[in-house]
Amino acid sequence: REPAPGAVHVPGWLPPDEQRRLVAACRDWARGPVPMRHTRLPRGGVMSVRTVCLGWHWAPYRYTRTADDAGGGRVAELPDWLAALGRRAVAEAYDDPAAGAAYAPDTALVNFYDAGARMGMHQDKDEKSDAPVVSLSLGDSCVFRFGNTETRTKPYTDVELASGDLFVFGGPSRFAYHAVPRTHPGTADPALGLAGRLNITLRETGLTD
């Protein structure tokens, strides 16, 4: 399903056993070295979502290797198996093995949504690369709002994202505005053992040390 050029939604892409493996990995990453926490915004706000980063730390609005707000620790490495999962995601979403092979994500942002958490309309433009963003959803389903590249308002389309869904945003969709206006608490499969929603995004920062 392609709601816009370059934006491909693959419902149920991750089988249940791989979802459980990813949830377990997220639990591990949430413990540190830089713990999962609410991101503080430069103008004084605090995001309702909690985030842990791998590879590079996203501090609004740039990427660093260390997190100044969490004891100055260096974030954990991005595991090779997760980058490989991203390559497989791009290859399969675009049905293009070459696009998959060329994908070299160097950072992952893991977002956790409790029942009240949401994310306002924004663009992801802190990366110095136009490589696709890969999104994997786990746990509670949510409303994902996919907008346009010009404004943070209409036209947009609302898409339901459920556990195991893959979304790849590349090409003309890479810099589109998007948001998570709400989740649907309690909709996760109890067998997943996750109360809330996790989203993993893989990106290329375009940075080198």
**Which residues here bind ligand MD3, judged by CB under 6 A?**
109, 111, 119, 124, 133, 135, 167, 169, 173-174, 176, 178, 180, 199, 201
Which is nearer to Fe ion, 114 or 124 (by Cβ)? 124
Report helix, strand or coil for 165.
coil
Rounded to a whole number of angstroms, the minimum distance from the CB of residue 48 to ligand MD3 is 11
Nearer Cβ to Fe ion, position 58 or 103? 58
Residue 194: CB minimum distance to ligand MD3, A: 14
Q: Which residue has the tokens 């590879």?
A: 55
Q: Least distance in Å: CB of 137 to ligand MD3?
A: 7
Which single residue brings its beta carbon nearest to Fe ion?
124
Greatest Cα pair distance, the chain, in angstroms, is: 44
Task: Examine residue 124 and tell whether it contacts Fe ion (CB under 5 A).
Answer: yes
Closest distance to ligand MD3 from the beta carbon of 113 (Å): 7
CA distance 18 to 20: 5
- The gap between the terminal CA atoms of the chain, to the nearest Å, is 37
Enumerate residues 6+ apart whose C-beta is below 8 A from 100: 87, 88, 89, 90, 91, 92, 94
CA gap 72, 70 in Å, rounded: 6
Q: What is the closest distance, in whole angstroms, from the C-beta atom of residue 119 to ligand MD3 in the complex?
A: 5
Residue 199 contacts which entry, Fe ion, ligand MD3, none (Cβ below 5-8 A, type-dependent): ligand MD3
- Residue 87 to residue 97: CA distance in whole angstroms: 9
| Cβ proximity to ligand MD3, 85 vs 133, nearer residue | 133
Residue 207 neighbours by CB distance under 10 Å: 17
Q: With CB cut-offs between 5 and 8 Å by kind, which of ligand MD3, Fe ion, none does residue 202 bind?
A: none
Instruction: Return residues touching Fe ion (CB under 5 A).
Output: 124
